[in-house]
Structure 1
Amino acid sequence: MTSSPAAAERALLCDLFIEVGPDAPTLAGDWTTRDLAAHLVVRERRPDAGPGIVTNVLADYSEGVRRAEAERPYEEIVERVRNGPPRWSPMRVPAVDRLTNTIEFFVHHEDVRRGGTAWSPRQLAPELEQTLSSLIGPAGKLLTRTSPVGVVVAPDGHPATTLHKGEPTVAVGGPLGECVLFLYGRTAAAQVEFEGPADAIAAMRAVTFGI
């Protein structure tokens, strides 16, 4: 894999996987680090399990594939994540890697960083910040499609973007990485601020954003 923000987040996440071990908690529901690492392997190496990862269609099948992957030795699973997708995968194309893996590995890196009790926000590398900024609009529009109110994301130091049209409207602000985490459903851990009518904020927060 060539050097890129996605590759950097992948490497940092794999280092952290080894540091915390297979049974550490994450922000990805009740998944441990072993579960999350297995998910990342299946996502890249088992296209037959893809539909069940992003929708309820074939979800049981995909979960079975993930559980089978999780039976491997933990260090082997992490190494498979570190090595990236196989040669035949479109994810090896730099442009596809950027679109599909930058946010994926950033969010899951934070899932592990923040899974315990001792963590603090980190300063993002400029290249990562730039890439997240370019992706948050298209991704956010998909993620907020079920919002009952309008949603605008206004990350610190970046232009505001309307993600979902509607009235009233809520603006989500804060550091860019925190806004990304909020939009990807890490609502309890994301350090963001809201502007808008109180009832609209409550209505938006009652919805779990995600694909």
Structure 2
Amino acid sequence: MGATQHRTPLDAREREDLCDLLAEVGPDAPTLCEGWTALDLAAHLVLREHFNRWTDAKMAAAKAKGLPALVDRLRAGAPLLPWCIPGLRSLLNGAEYLIHHEDVRRANGLGPRAGRPDLDEAAWKTSRLTAWRAARKIRPHGLELRTPDGRARHFGPGGGAVLTGRPVELLLYLSGRRDAADTHLTGDPEAVAALTNTGA
């Protein structure tokens, strides 16, 4: 990873890389978002950043512009407020683009990205909120996240479900991409069943 790439915020890098991938796979390529093609995903991202609720009519209108136009709109960047406020941009857009980049990659036969500790760091930060939401759904059981390098986070009482994997994989699991996430779920059988039965 070059020095220039290091200086570019992760959300901007993920945006540009996702735009490249969308252009490469084409509008009809599948994604991990059930029922959505690459065109649907691009339309969603454009509408989201411009504070439009993505009703069926607005989605249809956005998709009618075609994938190249939507990708060009995404490449142009988000509106200045609030997306470009330092600190908020990573919170608002970092995980969004990371997850949706993986949605397109993995649905089209591209596996996890190696040698990208920046992605894992971003995912580890974001996983705090997604894991907290998942843990609320399985009360009174607890949830623990573990990574191969020995990091751990606990939510609720001990002795519950234990989800192990690289941070990006944990984030994918917790955001509903379970089948695509390279994770291992162990722990108390009741807690494991509770987590498995949630939409997390």
Sort the TM-score into its range (normalised by shorter chain). 0.7 to 0.9
Residue number among 3, 13, 25 corresponding to 2:8 in the alignment: 3
Q: Which residue identity lines up with residue 200 of structure 1 in the other structure?
A: A
Change (3 A) 1:144 1:7: farther
Instruction: Give the share of equivalent positions with the same residue, in percent.
Output: 33
| Structure-1 residue corresponding to 2:71 | 78
* Alpha-carbon distance in structure 2 between the residues aligned to 1:7 and 1:208: 29
The answer for the alignment partner of 1:155 in structure 2 is 147
Name the SS of the counterpart of 1:194 in structure 2: strand
In structure 1, which of residues 111, 131, 142 is the aligned counterpart of residue 122 of structure 2?
131
What RMSD over aligned residues (CA atoms) do the two structures have, in Å? Answer: 1.9
After superposing the two structures, state which structure 1 stretch, 74-83 or 12-21, moved more.
Answer: 74-83
What is aligned with 1:25? 30
SS of the counterpart of 1:90? coil
Contact 2:27 2:39 in 1 (8 A): yes
Distance in structure 1 (CA, Å) of the matches to 2:76 and 2:134: 29
Give the 4+ runs in structure 1 shifted more than 3 A.
Answer: none
The alpha-carbon deviation at position 170 of structure 1 amounts to 0.3
Q: Is the 8 A contact 1:144 1:183 kept in 2?
A: no
User: Aligned letter for 1:101?
Assistant: N
Matched, 1:67 2:28: no
Q: Per the alignment, in what secondary structure is the counterpart of residue 30 of structure 2?
A: coil
Letter in 1 for 2:177: R
Aligned partners of 1:38, 1:124: CA distance in 2, in Å? 30
- 1:86-101 map, 5 Å: 86-87=79-80, 89-101=81-93
Shift of 1:167: 6.8
Tell me the equivalent position of 2:40: 35
| Conserved 8 A contact 2:19-2:75 | yes
TM-score by length of 1: 0.83
Q: Please list every run of 5 or more consecutive structure 2 residues that lacks an aligned counterpart in the other structure.
A: 1-6
Q: Deviations over 1:173-194 (max 9, x none)?
A: 0111100100100011101011
Aligned length: 193
- Measured after TM superposition, the shift of residue 43 of structure 1 is 0.6
